A and B are shown apart, each in its own frame.
Chain A
């Protein structure tokens, strides 16, 4: 791992990210905007899956999901920029690994929804309750994304970043 970190930090890309001092704050701003899209849009869908806001038709709530995916892609890009710029801050940081754990959990949960649960929920209209499987998937998703946010915010405090 140390070899990988040393190599990455020696690349022109990594040096450029640190050299141009405006890159980091701009990426942070974008990272926070992306965060609101993921928490807001995906969280809204998760709550409906959990059985809240029943007047919302499930498939209609899902129509917004491309915006959550867009937010996620913004954060993946800016997050990768942080990592490439200063990998040593992250690879030895327990908070970062916890964040990655919740990211993987959120991803697997979404995959499970797409392959096993989603189809059964798409016909649910206004007023319909969701099956228990959908409630669990929604709750796991919400907890995962809040976990990602929590451990991201804890990078400098529990871990050693910045």
Chain B
């Protein structure tokens, strides 16, 4: 891992993101990472809160286009995340909170996929009157995991 981190930090992407004085380098990459976070976690929150019983008049199947926004946000954050990691790889690779963040993201993605499956398999959604327990639990778990990923990401600047 250390060799890989050293290589990545010295790679063209790592050097550019870290050392370019251009506003398009580190500042813009970081900003895009924040926008992607807002879109990905925000779109998730719309569905999760609906499943938790907020806005009961909102038909759950009508929310399906939000998954496209989530994918877009996730794609942006994968690319910008790799660039941000590359800019300071040797330090970040040693941060436990970085691995906690990655773990939380993987778990959150799994829960998000399970929610999507459940919703799509039962579009009449008895889940729609969704006092249904499993739906609520999944939604609460999804919110917790995504909030945890955001928290871990923020803590990377401090720990």
Contact = CB atoms under 8 A, between A and B. Distances in A.
Interface of A: 25, 28-29, 32-33, 35-41, 43-44, 52-53, 55-57, 59-61, 63-64, 67, 126, 146, 149-150, 153-154, 157-158
Given A37-B42, A40-B45, A149-B34, A63 B154 contact: no
Contacts of A59: 57
A157 B29 CA distance: 12
B150 interface: yes
Interface in B133-159: 146-147, 150-151, 153-155, 157-158
Given A32-B150, A59-B57, A37 B45 contact: yes
Contacts of A60: 55, 57-59
Given A35-B34, A36-B37, A67-B49, A25 B154 contact: yes
A33 B44 contact: no
Given A40-B44, A64-B49, A28 B154 contact: yes
A56 B23 CA distance: 38
Interface in B36-66: 37-39, 41-46, 49-50, 54-59, 61-63, 65-66
Interface band, chain B: 35 or more
B55 A29 contact: no
B18 to A, nearest CB: 14
B72 interface: no
28 contacts: A25-B154, A25-B155, A25-B157, A29-B155, A36-B45, A38-B42, A39-B39, A40-B39, A40-B41, A40-B46, A41-B49, A43-B38, A44-B42, A44-B66, A53-B65, A53-B66, A56-B59, A57-B58, A60-B55, A60-B57, A60-B59, A61-B55, A64-B55, A64-B58, A67-B45, A153-B27, A157-B23, A158-B23
A18 B158 CA distance: 15
Interface of A is mostly: helix
B31 to A, nearest CB: 4
Contact of B38 (A29, A35, A157, A158): A35
A43 B65 contact: no
A63 B39 CA distance: 19
